Amino acid sequence: MTKSSAMHYCPAILISAPASGQGKTTITAALAYYHLQQNRKVRVFKTGPDFIDPQILSFACEQPVYQLDLWMMGEAHCREMLYNAAADADIILIEGVMGLFDGDSSSADLAQTLGVPVAVVIDAGGMAQTFAAVGYGLAHYRANLPFAGVIANKVGSSSHAKLLEEALPESMPLLAAMAKDEAVGLPSRHLGLLQADEIGDLDLRLARAAESLSSFAPCRLPEPVAFVPITTTPPPQLLAGKLIAVARDAAFSFIYQANLDCLQAMGAELTFFSPLADHVLPEADSIYLPGGYPELHLKALADNVAMKQALHAHHRAGKPIYAECGGFLYLLESLTDKDGNSAEMAGLLPGSAQMQKRLVNLGMHSLQLEQGEIRGHSFHHSQLETTLQPFTASNPQRNRSSSENFYRVGSLQTSYLHHYFPFNLQVADGFFL
């Protein structure tokens, strides 16, 4: 067991808002891009189990972006992630989720537990002095919430920004103000924003957003936060000598960077392949099919018969396959998009899935397997029909969410769940052995 002894200090803020849709991701990405242009090393984190926003944020800061969630990851692991980032970063930005106090493990909970001050993004369009009232209410709704200040979004002019700043109490600074500009918005679809690779002018959008963010006043660097030393244990080399082939392309891109790091820390070597473009599998011991958007690539996946045959051969050889959500859908006999277009998938599992116009399941889940508990989340718009009998089922964190079935067919393990591997290394190891 090893223990770090030095306290790390680094400017840090958690960027939240009164509600979703206020521009948190755009502001966070713009701040990251702005500070990067000032020759600062920027580390960015995303609150909650999100895959899409981190792609945008990673593009903006030119660093991997990791998730932070007290329930899914545990407090100690969250502290470890921030402590390690603070060792060499010039600034840490954490994008919140939903509204500041929303959810069972809210952005406010994270900020208060980890001691990171909150910066609230408020859509100031059509607003004057009430802007200050909203900010003041958020800052004082909960006692002892660390609060850095407010960020104004969709500001009409420099005089509008001045009006907003003058309305704020002295204890609540205006940290930044972004002008109203449709050219800096980020396009979206049913699961959230478009992926970074799908936004052809993302660099121009972020550059314009960063310029807009500093046009009314210089962006203030947050105050340093003390990140306490943490105790770590080197992970057991449970996957030493194993080669894991990970699907990664436009159809399969929903994967925690921490999961990849975890597999490598346990001794595995990773190689990547594309079910869309490649016709052969790498010579690997195991396969990892993460989530994504297979429903947007039905024809390409259906037409790649060679890849489907390679997956069948891998499975017949008794080699492990682990698939999550979109990867799970790809292994079914067929998949139908929301417009009614159907296509044949890999056919390793009996059944089909149909995309729905509304969300089918959402929430945090725990799963109990032989090696113990692992945690993750569910977020999908598809409805499954299968004769396959589940091996077990998850336990939803909240009553409003439905449990998810977990399936085993020989060496193939799959479900709708996106698991967070570092929560239990033994369970993660069991997916690939």
Instruction: State phi, psi for 378 to the nearest 5 degrees.
Output: -125, 140
260: amino acid identity, one letter = L
Task: List all residues 6 or more positions away from 127 whose beta carbon is below 8 Å from its beta carbon.
Answer: 134, 164
Q: Which of 78, 219, 262, 325 is catalytic?
A: 325
The torsion defined by the Cα of 232, 234, 235 and 238, in degrees rounded to 10, comes to -160
Instruction: State phi, psi for 292 to the nearest 5 degrees.
Output: 160, -140
Task: List all residues 6 or more positions away from 356 whose beta carbon is below 8 Å from its beta carbon.
Answer: 338, 381, 382, 383
* Per-residue tokens: 217: 């006043």
Token match 């050219």: residue?
A: 183
Instruction: Identify the CA nearest to 239 among candidates 212, 269, 206, 201.
Output: 269
Token match 């292994």: residue?
A: 331
Handedness of CA 211, 213, 214, 216 (dihedral sign): positive
Instruction: Identify the CA nearest to 244 among candidates 423, 421, 365, 124.
Output: 421
Q: Confirm whether 325 is a catalytic residue.
A: yes
Q: What is the DSSP string of 197-238?
A: GG-TTHHHHHHHHHHHHTTSSPPPPPPEEEE---EE-PPP-T
Task: List all residues 6 or more positions away from 124 whose beta carbon is below 8 Å from its beta carbon.
Answer: 131, 152, 153, 154, 155, 160, 164, 177
Number of residues in the chain: 433
Find out whether 308 and 271 touch, Cβ atoms under 8 Å: no
* Per-residue tokens: 409: 């067919």
252: amino acid identity, one letter = F
Instruction: State phi, psi for 395 to the nearest 5 degrees.
Output: -110, 110
410: amino acid identity, one letter = G
State the DSSP code for 346.
Answer: -
Active site residues: 325
